[in-house]
Structure 1
Amino acid sequence: MLSAYAFEFSCGDPVYKPDLNENSNRAVPFSWPWQVSLQAKKGISYSHMCGGALIDPIWIVTAGKCVNEGMKYRVVLGKYDLTLTEGSEQYIEPVKMISHPMFNPKCINCGFDLALLKLSWPVVFTDKIRLTCLPGAGEQLPDNYTCVVTGWGKLNAKGPKPRKLQQALLPAVEHDLCSRSDWLGTNVMDTMICVGGYSKTACEGDPGSPLNCFGSDGRWYVNGVGSFTGSVPCNTARKPSVYTRMSAYNSWINDVSRFLSSK
């Protein structure tokens, strides 16, 4: 069970509202306040490696492939421009990193690409650092339901990875369609969410970053966590980006957080 005090603050309710114009790929600064930068230490400095989402004052969700026990990490919250010190950051090292026990880093499309990071201490909530909401167990997105992918990965094929947080509005693709042979076929499981593929995708995206979907209650939910984009060029028709479906793992998330929060 996630921390009891997590819900003293409303999840999925950013102070700075996102720009949902589908032609605007640069996010409004701090409009996705649960987005984190997972950074790995290389030499004496840290570099952005993956995204993640704050689901509790001491818990981050990211992709399983983003976690390597042999590396030293820090989680950076309250971040927009990776090249600047913005004054809003909180830097916290994880004390536990738990990949799903069924995750196989040599077979990303086999599923279970999910990990939880327990922070050394609870975050301090600010106008730039907030929680996202978790979807209900088993929840499925309707076909063509538009969500927002965020991260510091490429959202188009040209140029270097961006320094400022990017976003893209992309429609979900129902599993029956995405698993057809002319789409992704057997490479996609029902514990995954396909997004894009009609006209554009998340390109390289940002592993571990959230798929943000607006709920009927007016709050944002992390319905997916960035998993893989395949080996095809960006924006190839019928080759969507793939996210781990969070609602397939509610029990595992609650079991891990309940057990480790008591330690």
Structure 2
Amino acid sequence: MQYFGNFPECGVPNRKARFVGGEYLRGYEFPWLSLIQVQGKGEEEEGKKTVPGALINNKYVITEAAQLVGLTPYDVKVTLGQFDRCSFDVSSMNVSVDKIIIHPDFSPENKANDLALLKLSNPVIFERRISPICLSVPGHNYLGQVATIVGWPPNEAAEEEEATTSCRPKKLGLPVLDNIECLETAQDPTFISTDKGCVGLVGTPSVVCEDDAGTPVMYRSHAGVYELIGILTDQNQCEEDSKSTALYTKINDHLWWITKNTRDACYCFKT
């Protein structure tokens, strides 16, 4: 595993981020945010769907495993530097996938170890709109901190104005909860494995939905650098009458697996 000592640094947003609940981004603030185009298979999954992910170095994107099980690299394409997913953007980059690495201990039953790595066919040349996020700090649990979640809302809005805004990423901040709060507020405790954490406001409907699976859960340090602390699972429901928190897979529990499988990549230093 190699490291860049110069430009760019990981986890640096394109502008100073200030959280506003449910804010649509005005510019491409998070240059590691990836849009994974997945070609569905079978009668129930015909057509394409998109899955969020995060660029962690010059060769790999990380996302949720459940969305990629059974697929080949030919079924997947990654778009980097995308802001408005509904309009052609000459500054974005489409990259084919060379390899899909599903966590060997991933459980479809309870979604334990729900992580996958996508090895890109060609190394990424970093620039302002495309650069990686930092991995989480080993041993740090982030409890009590505010996590930032950013991704594209489902593009199914009925109103024209809402449909237009759903083309752009949206970010929100949610507190990181402890294990007891996760158990007490989860919709289904079956899916709380030892490598899971949760974010949300206790006693309120979840704002994180099933379609948000693969979305990065991030923490912004005092230095303004973003660290990847988790990846949302697909077991999160957001019905109005459902008061629950959102589950994510902890990156810290899988740092060894991530770094072992990305030894041929170049990581950036934190500031």
Superposition TM-score, scaled by structure 2 size: 0.82
Q: Offset of 1:225 from its aligned partner?
A: 0.6
Alignment match, 1:212: 218
Distance 1:182 1:13, change over 3 A: closer
Report the number of matched residues: 253
Distance in 2 between residues matched to 1:124 and 1:10, nearest whole Å: 13
Q: Which of 238, 241, 249 is equivalent to 1:244? A: 249
- 1:66 alignment counterpart: 67
Shift of 1:94: 1.1
State the Cα RMSD in Å: 2.9
Q: Does 1:77 align with 2:76?
A: no
Q: Deviations over 1:42-82 (max 9, x none)?
A: 69xx8442000000010111110121443511110000111
Q: How is 1:1-263 mapped onto 2 (pairs within 5 angstroms)?
A: 1=1, 3-5=2-4, 8-22=7-21, 24-41=22-39, 47-71=48-72, 72-105=75-108, 107=109, 109-143=110-144, 145-154=145-154, 162-180=166-184, 184-198=188-202, 199=204, 200-231=206-237, 233-234=239-240, 236-237=242-243, 239-258=244-263
Structure 2: state its 5+ residue gaps.
Answer: 42-46, 266-271
Letter in 2 for 1:9: P
**Corresponding letter in the other structure for 1:190:** T
Q: Spell out, residue by residue over 1:176-222, the C-alpha distance to the aligned partner (whole angstroms, 9 max, x if none).
A: 22113776534312311211142343234521110121123331011
- Percent identity over the alignment? 25
Query: Are residues 184 and 124 of structure 1, via their aligned partners in 2, closer, same or farther at CA, if it must alter by over 3 Å?
Result: same
In 1, Cα distance between equivalents of 2:5 and 2:60: 10
In structure 2, give the amino acid aligned to 1:149. I
Q: Aligned partners of 2:221, 2:134: CA distance in 1, in Å?
A: 9
Structure 1 runs (4+) greater than 6 angstroms displaced = 155-161
C-alpha distance in 2 between matches for 1:141 and 1:214: 11
Instruction: Report the equivalent of 2:269.
Output: none
Aligned 8 A contact 2:175 2:200 in 1: yes
Farther-moved stretch of structure 1 (243-252 vs 121-130): 121-130
Larger RCO, structure (CA 8 Å, separation 6 or more):
2
The answer to whether the Cα contact below 8 Å between 2:155 and 2:167 also exists between their aligned partners in 1 is no
Q: Distance in 2 between matches of 1:36 and 1:133?
A: 14
C-alpha spacing 1:124/1:98, structure 2 compared with 1 (3 Å):
same
